[in-house]
Amino acid sequence: MSFEIVEATIPDIQAALEAGEITSKQLVLMYYERIADHDKNGLTINSVLEINPDALFIAESLDVERAINGPRGPLHGIPVLLKDNINTGDKMHTSAGSLALANSFAGEDAFIVTKLREAGAIIMGKANMTEFANFMTNGMPSGYSSRGGQVLNPYNISTPTGGSSAGSAVAVACNFCTVSVGTETSGSILNPGNLGSIIGIKPTVGLLSRSGILPLSNTQDTAGPMARTVHDAVLLLNAMLGKDHDAAMGTNTGKIHEDYTVFLDPNGLQGARIGIPRDYYFEELTDEQLALFNASVDRMRELGATIIDPADIKTAREISYSSVVLNEFKTALNAYLSHLGPGAPMRTLKDIIDFNHAHPVETLRFGQATLIDAEYTSSGTQSEAQYLRHRATDLKLCKEEGIDATMKEYNLDALLFPADFGARITSRAGYPSIVVPSGYTSAGAPFGVTFSAKAYQEPTLIKLAYAYEQHYKVRKAPSLKSFI
């Protein structure tokens, strides 16, 4: 077979499918071979947690449908991996990487999974992740779960994968799937996207449904696309759109676009006003990373962007510890578990903690301090005074007096952060971001830049990210042969 799967985009694959060069069944088998050779053997990347037992049947049925009726759209016959906290009503488990939930079946698809199936996507499997979205304990390595083990960074073994959507990012980076879906509460798409040299879109909270996703925070959680190109990420975003009963989606009325590919403008940086919050957000950069960032800014200037540098966020140093996620987790998780049905192995957060205590060798390699804190700090009612104050403070410092005030003061279209360093402020505000590869360190570690803006400004971010990517295609696939 002459078709080259490595770095193949959705348009590449659709062209090959239409030309009869490959079938979707053959495509799935090609990914299986790569997973077998590199994820489960060879370098043992360990990004794929579970394969859908029906993936080949689904692929073959979609090939038949294509032959009779033509494709449903761009996602027809495209293999997708889902983060292991996204429900599927099939023969796969949804465990958030936890052995306590290793035998848990969701019973029905998450809303976004229903939309993907309607678009003709092949749900090929589940991706490994940092257990409970990195809310298990302090000091757990990114990409580690008791059920799935440790995900490795294919670019450099000494570089973290980032988390918590580690497997989703790494599987895309390694060409183990075409695209994947991750989730983010505070950097969980942007962080592994940056360290995996891929595109990660963290949408506005309310753009995509969270129904049927094992939760961390009711106010900050969102799913989002992960891909090797901006175009592919946007096609995946399109396929997941649709409104259901998620209360957060009430904010998107009149603000959603049916097709975000119309914003894929190669000249999207021309005339854009981009602000750089230098204060606070650059303190942890190495000299090499700073040089990579500054080079990316120079490229944007060359493409016609007006750079306001600095455009500091005056509240950046006031933003500190917040109890919001800690208080919301117990309430959200217990509600999720209650909907799994009478046969579910775990009914409450306390059940999970007790299971881990009963199986310490298998589950408590790094402990479960955060789970315990969540169980005993939160009443499960979100009525604690500290929680209410912190929620109000987060919105004030991150949203109104933070991002909103800065963008208004400097008349900005977007903010530009190094790597994923702006994730904390954007996530607490519920605002969108897109991370794009911008280079590699001398050790081969990926480094990216993140465009961020106000709620439902995905069209602007897509224009900026696409224009940057198209003119400076810096992403390269990992060799999967040796580590530096």
What angle, rounded to 10 degrees, do the helices at 10-19 and 24-34 form?
A: 130
Average pLDDT over residues 20-26: 98
3 state DSSP class of 183: strand
- Would you say how long the chain is, in residues? 484
Q: What's the pLDDT at 482?
A: 55
Q: Evaluate if residue 484 carries a pLDDT over 60.
A: no
Q: What's the pLDDT at 296?
A: 98
Is 463 assigned a catalytic role? no
**CB of 233 closer than 8 Å to CB of 199:** yes
Is 188 assigned a catalytic role? yes
Nearest to 196 by CA among 250, 235, 233: 233
Alpha helices in 226-320 (DSSP H): 230-240, 287-302
The token pair at 442 is: 């001398």
% of the chain with per-residue pLDDT over 70: 99
Condensed to tens digits (0 to 9), the pLDDT of residues 168-189 reads 999 999 999 999 999 999 999 9
Average pLDDT over residues 132-154: 97
Q: Evaluate if residue 263 carries a pLDDT over 70.
A: yes
Contacts for 146 with CB less than 8 Å, ≥ 6 apart = 97, 98, 99, 131, 362, 363, 365
Which residue among 24, 164, 165, 378 is the active-site one? 164
Q: Evaluate if residue 277 carries a pLDDT over 60.
A: yes
Strands (E), 120-192: 122-127, 144-145, 149-150, 179-184
Strands (E), 298-425: 306-308, 414-418
- Strand (E) or helix (H) holding 468: helix 458-471
For residue 363, the tally of other CB atoms under 10 A from its CB is 22
% of the chain with per-residue pLDDT over 90: 96
Of 111-120, 318-327, 336-345, 359-368, the least confident: 336-345
Is 164 assigned a catalytic role? yes
Residue 342's pLDDT band, with cuts at 50, 70 and 90, is confident
**For residue 141, what is the DSSP state?**
P
Q: Evaluate if residue 1 carries a pLDDT over 70.
A: no
Q: What's the pLDDT at 157?
A: 84
Mean pLDDT of the chain: 97
Instruction: Determine the residue type at 296.
Output: S
Nearest to 375 by CA among 334, 340, 336, 406: 334
**CB of 193 closer than 8 Å to CB of 232:** no
Average pLDDT over residues 149-154: 97
Pairwise CA distance, residues 316 & 434, whole Å: 20
Q: Evaluate if residue 363 carries a pLDDT over 60.
A: yes
For residue 396, the tally of other CB atoms under 10 A from its CB is 13
Instruction: Characterise 299 by phi-psi region: left (phi > 0), alpha (psi -120 to 50), beta (else).
Output: alpha
Q: Evaluate if residue 330 carries a pLDDT over 70.
A: yes
Which residue among 146, 168, 180, 188 is the active-site one? 188
User: Could you tell me the pTM of the whole model?
Assistant: 0.98
Which residue among 24, 25, 47, 83 is the active-site one? 83
| Dihedral angle computed from the Cα positions of residues 104, 109, 113 and 116, in that order, rounded to the nearest 10 degrees | 130
Nearest to 323 by CA among 390, 259, 264: 390
Average pLDDT over residues 348-354: 97
Q: What's the pLDDT at 483?
A: 45
Condensed to tens digits (0 to 9), the pLDDT of residues 46-84 reads 999 999 999 999 999 999 999 999 999 999 999 999 999
The token pair at 172 is: 């895309």
Residue 471's pLDDT band, with cuts at 50, 70 and 90, is very high
Taken in order 310, 311, 317, 323, is the CA torsion positive or negative?
Answer: negative
3 state DSSP class of 179: strand
Q: Which residues pair with 48 in a beta bridge?
A: 127
